Amino acid sequence: MITDKIKENKTILGVEFGSTRIKAVLSLEGGQILATSDYGWENSLVDGLYTYDLEEAWTGLRHCYSTIYETVKKDYQTELTGLGALGFSGMMHGYLAFDREGELLAPFRTWRNTNTGEATEILRPLLKFNIPHRWTIAHLYQAILDNEDHLDRLDFLTSLSGYIHRTLTGEKVLGIGEASGLFPIDEKSLDYNQAMIDKFDKLSAEKGFGKKLRDLLPKVLVAGDAGGRLTRQGALLIDPTGRLQAGALLCPPEGDAGTGMVATNSIRPRTGNISAGTSIFSMLVLEKDLKNYYAEVDMVTTPAGRPVAMVHCNTCTSDLDAWVRLFHEFAQVSDPDIDIGQVYTLLYHKALEADADCGGLLAYNFYSDEPVVKTGGGFPLFIRKANADLRLANFMRAHLYSSFACLKLGMDLLLSEEDLAIDRLLGHGGLFKQKGIAQQFMADALNTRVEVNETASEGGAWGMAILAEYRLMKKEGQSLEDYLDDVIFKDNKSLAALPESEGRKGFLAFMENYEKGLELEDRASKIM
């Protein structure tokens, strides 16, 4: 039966261009996963800005598709020559600027860059809306302030997922969730906020920038809208062998925030999710507008257009992963064959033996600026008093706590000032791969139930495949929320962690020291 569906071109492909991995998932209706593949890539620091070589994006995509093709051929004794639908997502926002011929005008500036401080300080009060450092509009206005040469040739702005989608289809579109990180969205019109566009155009014109913002931005689509079809040229970019047929439907391209919401079925009001990988962010779907705007809280949308309050921190597991690699190197001295996955398992489980307050140890995981806590630069630190209890268990728990401590501060502000209610909070991403450990610590930290679905490890690529499936399979009038409940997650199983009193007290003690020590982090980033 599966073989027949493959031959009938009823498979669905979701691809996500994440910060450290490009991942692809091939599925059937209902989210049934047939094959997965991934490709590792890393950003580079060039002239003080984080960037990726876009040619490597295509290399990674071709690798993922080729691997899936071979998996299908081996497991189902048939060839994958066509797709019913596909969709692409990518790391959020940043700056991708093109001229009329589609030539990239400046290196891709990723979400990790925080060189847009002057722009955000001007745009926030002007628009009365939080404009984060990583948003495309902040990068554009900073380029205007810096009088960058490429602006004269600027014809089109998009995100990474929008760039991939446009190249494969010719369509200049974005899903609304991703578009909400280029420029603020009007939740009534489900389009860019025109009043804010008018204010920006007036401001930029005063700086000598004569282009209209609306002309530069991609068209906004919501989940289920037609995103175009795979062209013959696009099919050859994915599969240079020529086996992949053109014509597959595409859904609107989205960002990793939107696919994370879909993959955890947290797109209804009063639900939320936490994505914890290279960066970490929480997404809380609102049932009413916020009373105020906050520099620590981003306002974005679900792929269906519902308003979402987002707390984003630039670094999550990078420093933790660096320490695990160091311990892996040490472990190989005695056992050259030990796998790094075994080291992760050993160290994460060791953290369960720690003191709930980490024995007085402190860790800061910052690899770049963290606007939530207003620290400058990125300078990972490990700190302890001479009489602190330095044990491996405490060391590991301190670094696990540090992975989401910054997020905790941002969420505390939102929950205390806005009195939001959360019925379900779901976790996904690399931090949750070791079952029940970081999840329990996070439940203690946030004092709420934290769930992890069985499919959480598939993450955004699977979420993107679901969005493509919804585009292909949805019935007339069927909302994305209902499709997820009735088709994708109807038999869902999840692991839940509830806050424990001892862990709760220990984390609060850790956070008291953590907040005091932020001054040391800020000083270190200024003098080193």
Give the integer Cα–Cα distance in Å for 367 and 344. 21
Domain membership of residue 452 (yes or no) is no
- Contact criterion met (CB below 8 Å) for 81 and 245: yes
Give the integer Cα–Cα distance in Å for 68 and 78. 12
Which of 212, 486, 442, 421 has its CA nearest to residue 316?
442
Domain membership of residue 145 (yes or no) is yes
Residue 315 has a pLDDT of 87
Token pair listed for 340: 């790094």
**Number of domains forming the structure of the chain:** 1
Token pair listed for 462: 């699977």
- The CATH number covering residue 190 comes to 3.30.420.40
Residue 372 has a pLDDT of 83
Beta-bridged to residue 60, according to DSSP, are none
As averages over each run of 10 residues, the pLDDT of the chain (528 residues) reads: 94 95 96 96 92 97 98 96 97 94 96 91 96 95 97 97 98 97 95 98 97 98 97 98 98 94 91 88 88 87 94 90 97 96 96 97 90 80 94 98 93 82 84 91 91 72 97 94 94 88 96 92 77
SS3 280: strand
C-alpha dihedral sign at 464, 414, 495, 19: positive
Residue 416 has a pLDDT of 79
As a three-state string, the secondary structure of 4-24 is HHHHCCCCEEEEEECCCEEEE
Domain membership of residue 153 (yes or no) is yes
Domain membership of residue 344 (yes or no) is no
Please tell me the pTM assigned to this model. Answer: 0.84
Domain membership of residue 118 (yes or no) is yes
The string of DSSP codes covering 183-234 is: S-EETTTTEE-HHHHHHHHHHHHHTT--S-HHHHSPEEE-TTS---B--HHH
Give the integer Cα–Cα distance in Å for 356 and 445. 11
Residue 247 has a pLDDT of 97
- Contact criterion met (CB below 8 Å) for 428 and 275: yes
Residue 456 has a pLDDT of 54
Measured CA distances, 299 to 184, 290, 312 (Å)? 8, 9, 11
Domain membership of residue 434 (yes or no) is no
Total residues found in the chain within this entry: 528
Other C-beta atoms lying within 10 Å of the C-beta of residue 225: 14
SS3 79: coil
Domain membership of residue 461 (yes or no) is no
Give the integer Cα–Cα distance in Å for 258 and 267. 9
Beta-bridged to residue 271, according to DSSP, are 424
Phi, psi of 130 (to 5 degrees): -70, 125
Residue range(s) defining the domain that contains residue 129 = 93-158+183-216
As a three-state string, the secondary structure of 359-425 is HHCEEECCCCCECCCCECCCCCEEECCCCCCCCHHHHHHHHHHHHHHHHHHHHHHHHHHHCCCCCEE
Domain membership of residue 113 (yes or no) is yes
